[in-house]
Structure formats: C-alpha cells, structure tokens
Structure 1
C-alpha cells in the first residue's frame, strides 16, 4: 500500500538456512519469559528475511550513487596492482599551480625556439641558395679544369707531325728537321722560344707563324724574304732583300734579279735605300725587265731594261708612283726594239731620247 513516506515493506519470509536451533530452557525460564521470547524471535526473523519489492516500486540509482558505487570505499581493497593504483591516484590528482606554470613556460620556450628557427631559415634562404650555386659552379669548373688538364698533358696530344708551307727557296725538310727536337712534347708545352732559335738560322725566312692542329700536328707558315737584287761585295755576288739582309752569296752573278751598283757603298747607305724604293715602285712585269740599277746618291737613280738596252733616268726616289705610271705610258708608245733613253725625272713631263 502506498503511503506518503513510500510503499509498505513486503512481509519478510523467514530464511530457513539462517534459522538457528533454539536452546531448550527450563520450565521456569520458559514460563517467565515466554511472551518476550516470542516477540524477539519474530523481530529477528523479520530482519533476516529478504526484502521483496514490487516492479512498480523499483527506482534507478542516482548518478552520484552510481559513482559512489564504482569508487572503491576505504574499507574495501581496490582490485588493482600497485602500479595501477599509483597511476590512478596520479591521474586523479590535480596539478599544482607551480607545475602548470612550469609546463606553460616549457611549452612557450619550445614554441619560441621553433619560431626563431623558422625565421632564421626564411631569412637565410637566399644566402644558402647563393652558397649552393657558387659551390655547384666551383665544382663544375674544377671538373672542367681537370678534364682539360688530362687532355692537354696527355701523350695523345703530343707533337708527331710538322707541316711546312710558304717556302720557295727553302727546303721544307730543313724546317722539319729543325723542329723535330720538339716531337713527343704535348702541344700545350711546346717550347716556341726554342723553335724561334732554330728557325732564326735561316736567312731566307722573313717571318713565320705556327699553328697547332690537334691532336698531334704543328703547322709552320713561312714568309720568305723577297730578293730585290744582288750587290757585289769584295768580288762576291750577294743576294739581298730590300732591308739589305743577305739571302745568298755566289761567285757568279745570280740570275733573275737586277745587279745593283751603288758605287762601293754598303747596303745601309742612302743610295741603296733609294734604289730599293724605286724598284719596289715599279710594276712586277716591268721590274722583271730591269737588268741593272745604279746610284751614287739618293737623287741620281737610273736603270737599264733588258732587250735592246733602253735606259731609264729616274732621278730621286720621290714621286716614284707617278714616275712609274709615266714610264709605262712612254714605253707603250715606243717600239720595244728602238734603242734610246726614257727620262722621267720630272713626273709631269716624260721624255724619250732615241740613241
């Protein structure tokens, strides 16, 4: 039955297992205490009987009661090992403010270090890129220099062949023999001073140019001295170039070049300089016809043409180009077989005097 303070408790049934055998008392005791024993035994059986409640009287335990039920009481032993109990107590213990502050400081320090490293990497990115670029270029240059050094100093690029061109009076074999001391030397290590010394003994060589042709060839381009004529020195015919350098000596007159008569002066005299200037001003075909040329001073140059012995009075070496053009015009107007004298000492007025 429902009452204001709750439902009535159900009648408790006596527990047969929990009932204890009653001790027999004497007649005096049972008679004196019969009523009290009956009342106390009823109360004892009512307290030991299980409580049975109706389905409508069942209540759900409160959350606080559930938490209290799940929490081990102080009187009961928790079913955990010592390590688990320690972890359980640490997890439930709230950290102190000092511990929280230290954790926050450590976290802030870590964040600051990360931020500083990120900023450092950002500001030094260009420097690192430039450094890597320079290192890459340096490595590439070193590799290239190594390859060049191996190729240059390798015996594969040693001198084995000498080719000579531009010679007319000089035997190319003599030039090759003079340079053969350099054979077997790497092309990059050729001693050009030694080559110059060897080639300077050839008077016919005016100049030369060397050219390296890999892998093993040296080209020597020779420019020979062009003889301008021959002079007689102590009864010896000496072939000279315009600079007066001796090209060849012979006991007999050298054919193909005019004989120069400068009155016993040497090749450094003004008369020889005037003669060479006049000869160089003549056209090549006309110069080839000159048999002899003479001068005692720089102003009285004259020469004789081959054939009938026509003579040309030139005078000084000034205006040689105009005199050469005037002489060509006069020769074209006269008979080659007619003997006589051409006078072009005055470039504006040429004269032919028949003999």
Structure 2
C-alpha cells in the first residue's frame, strides 16, 4: 500500500509517467539512428557495387579498344603446325600479309583465302594467342591413289581432289607407292567408295595394293601386288575389314591364297 498524501502519490505517478515517456523517446531515437546507419550502409554498398561494375565495364571497353584498334596487340608472329608434306616456311610466307594486323581483326575468311593456293590443305583452325601470336593448325589431305587423266597420271585424295601430277613440278622428290584407282569419274559414288577403302588401309599395306576397282559403291575390289584378289564389297566397316584382311594375309602367307573375301568381315573366306 502506497504511503503519503494524495498530492505526493499523484506527483510520484507524474514522475513515473515522465520517466516512461523519456525512456520510450530515447529508445525511439536509438532505433531511428540504427535505421539510418543501416540504410546508409546499404546505400554505400550499392554505390560500391555500381562503381565496381562501371569500372569493370570501362576496363573491358579499354581492352577491346586496345585489342582491336591499336598496334599493341597486332600480329607479329605466325606459327604453322600440322604440316607433313607442306613446308611450314612456305605457308608462313603466304600468311605474311596478316602481319601487323590487330590480332582480333584477323578473320578465318582471310586465312582461308591465303591458304587457297595449297591444294594439300584439307582443313585448318586458327588460334589467336595474345599479345601478338597467330597459330594456324593445318590438316593435310591424304594421298590414297593414282588416277589416269587425259593429261597424264595424277595423285588424288579420298574425295577425288587432285594433289599433284605424277612426275610433275609439285610432286614430292620420292614418289609414294599408291594403288591405281579404277572406279569411274573423280567424285562419283563408286570412286568415293573406293577412296574410303584406300583411306582405311594402313599406309604400309596400301603399298601392297596394285589397283582398286569399283563398278559400283557396293562392289569394291582390291588387286594386290602378289596377284591375289580381295573382294571388299561396300565401304562400310572398312576399318574392320582392313584389320581382318591383314590378319588373314599374315596367317596364310605360306599357303598360297589367291583370293580373299572380306565383304562380311565376321565370316571371311579365302581360296
């Protein structure tokens, strides 16, 4: 029970009420200051994010400008890889017009145009290595046979592309031992089938093939230098047929086999 006069009790209640109001006001001010600090931190974080993003974008733009429009990243070195029959120095000389060009501006079409003079180039890839190196990786055509034309005998690849004239200026110093391709016109279906067969043969075994004939894409025949005849059939499963044929020849080299039939490689036949 509260003691004191009514005036004293009313004064105490007023003092308690003022204290409560003051504490509530103080808590409110603390809360407001905390909210202001939190909002300020978020706004500062957003500002830092914008600054970092804009700075990164500016650096990217600067890098693009340097790479594309200035000589700092221009082609000074051209490397040619993957050559076998081609002279890499000759290819580099053909690509010399690209030197001094900004690396990023060198297009595949420009490289292709400069490589058109090399019939032996089947395909290529271009790698740009900053700051100044252009690497051109070549894949050369594989010579698979000799083909008789009106102008003389030529060496061709599996697609029927003429690579060089036998005994001509572009011919290698040491001519390859290749089979004669008797399979219709260059690029015909029969020729393409015969070309795929020749391409599937190991290079050392290809030298033992005197002629490849094909009256149709399903009737490819190999004439070996030993005199034996190989019925190949279609060009399907040529890798498998080549493996079976070489194994058969090794296994029967002392038997005197005159013909091999690998048209069904799982059930080959010899005579």
CA offsets, 1:13-43, max 9 Å, x none? xxxxxxxxxxxxxxxxxxxxxxxxxxxxxxx
1:134 and 1:330 map into 2 onto residues whose CA distance is 73
**2:191 corresponds to which of 272, 275, 279:** 272
Kindly report the root-mean-square deviation, in angstroms, between the aligned alpha carbons of the 2 structures: 3.3
Q: Tell me, yes or no, if the aligned pair for 2:178 and 2:206 is still in contact at 8 Å.
A: no
Single out whichever of 123-132 and 296-305 deviates more from structure 2.
123-132
Q: Is 1:157–1:186's contact at 8 Å kept on the other side of the alignment? A: yes
Distance 1:233 1:151, change over 3 A: same
Check the 8 A contact 2:145/2:198 in 1, yes or no.
no
What does residue range 13-32 of structure 1 map to in structure 2 within 5 Å?
none
Cα distance in 1, alignment partners of residues 189 and 153 from structure 2: 20
1:204 offset after TM fit, Å?
Answer: 1.0
Match of 2:261 among 343, 346, 352: 343
Deviation at 1:225, TM superposition (A): 0.9
Cα displacement (A) at 1:132: 1.4
Work out which of the residue numbers 250, 253, 270 in structure 2 matches 1:332: 250
Question: Which structure is higher in RCO with an 8 Å CA cutoff and minimum separation 6?
Answer: 2
Q: Distance in 2 between matches of 1:345 and 1:139?
A: 68
Cα separation, 2, equivalents of 1:287 and 1:318: 18
Match of 2:179 among 245, 258, 283: 258
Structure 1 residue 272, shift from structure 2 partner: 1.0
Higher strand share: 2
Residue 202 of structure 1 pairs with residue 118 of structure 2: yes
**Partner of residue 296, structure 1:** 215
- For these two proteins, the number of residue pairs brought into alignment is 235
Give 1:203 deviation, angstroms. 1.7
Residues 1:141 and 2:60 are matched in the alignment: no
Shift of the 142–322 alpha-carbon distance from structure 1 to 2, 3 Å rule, reads closer
Q: Structure 1 321/222 Cα, relative in aligned 2: closer, same or farther at 3 Å? A: closer
By how many angstroms is 1:223 displaced? 0.8
CA contact under 8 A between 1:231 and 1:261: conserved in structure 2?
Answer: yes
Contact 1:182/1:191 (8 A) holds in 2? no
Unaligned 5+ runs, structure 2: 1-28
TM-score (norm 1): 0.56
**1:77-136 deviation per Cα after TM superposition (whole angstroms, max 9, x unaligned):** xxxxxxxxxxxxxxxxxxxxxxxxxxxxxxxxxxxxx99x97994584255224412332
Tell me if the contact between 1:327 and 1:350 (Cα under 8 Å) persists in the aligned partners: no
Q: In structure 2, what is the equivalent of residue 237 of structure 1?
A: 153
Point out the structure with max Rg over C-alpha: 1
- Cα separation, partners in 2 of 1:329 and 1:251, compared to 1, 3 Å: closer
Indicate which of 208, 227, 238 corresponds to 2:143: 227
Structure 1: how far apart are the matches of 2:230 and 2:153?
24
Select 1:285's aligned residue among 204, 221, 235: 204
**2 CA distance for matches of 1:181 and 1:319?**
45
Matched ranges for 1:76-225 at <5 A: 121=36, 124-125=39-40, 128-145=43-60, 148-149=63-64, 151-152=66-67, 153-225=69-141
Alpha carbons 2:198, 2:206 under 8 Å: kept: yes
